[in-house]
Amino acid sequence: MKTFGQVLREARKKAGITQRELAARLKREDGRAVDPPYLNAVEHDHRYPPEDFLIEQIAKIVGVSADVLYFHANRQPPDVKSETHEARLEAAYRAFRKALGVKSPGKRK
C-alpha cells in the first residue's frame, strides 16, 4: 500500500504543482504559511501526515478526494469521527471490504 507521502507527491505532480507552489497556497489554522521543507518532509514520509485542516486544503488544491488522503494517513475524516454503536461500525467495515473486494475476516470475539 502507498504511503500518505507517496499519494500526495503523485497527486501534486499530476496536478502540475511544485512543492513550493503547494506550500504557498496552504495556510495553517492559525494563518501561518506552510514552508516547502515541511511539505518535502511529509512527501518523503519523514513527518506524519498533516492535521485535518491541511489535508482538506491539499485535497482541493491537488484535485484528489480528501477521503483518499485520510485513508493513506490512517485516519478517519472528521465527519465520520463519532461515537457509534458497535454493530453499525461492523456493518460499515463489511461494506468497505465488499467495495474493495477484500475478503472479510472471521468473526472476532
* Count, residues in the chain: 109
What global pTM score does this model have? 0.85
Structure-derived torsion over alpha carbons of residues 79, 84, 90, 91, reported in degrees to the nearest 10: -70
Report the candidate in 72, 94, 107 with the shortest Cα–Cα distance to residue 58.
72
Backbone angles phi, psi at 105, to 5 degrees: -70, 165
> Considering its fold, how many domains does the chain have in total?
1
Q: What is the pLDDT of residues 4-42, one digit of tens each?
A: 999 999 999 999 999 999 999 999 999 999 999 999 999
Q: What is the pLDDT of residues 62-92, one digit of tens each?
A: 999 999 999 999 998 988 877 778 888 888 8
Task: Determine the structural domain holding residue 40 and report its residue range.
Answer: 4-81
Q: Answer whether residue 90 is part of any domain.
A: no
* CATH label of the domain that carries residue 72: 1.10.260.40
Q: Answer whether residue 15 is part of any domain.
A: yes
For residue 97, give the 3-state DSSP assignment. helix
In this predicted structure, what is the pLDDT of residue 20? 96
Written as nine digits, the cell of 49 is: 501526515
Instruction: Band the pLDDT of 107: cuts 50, 70, 90.
Output: low
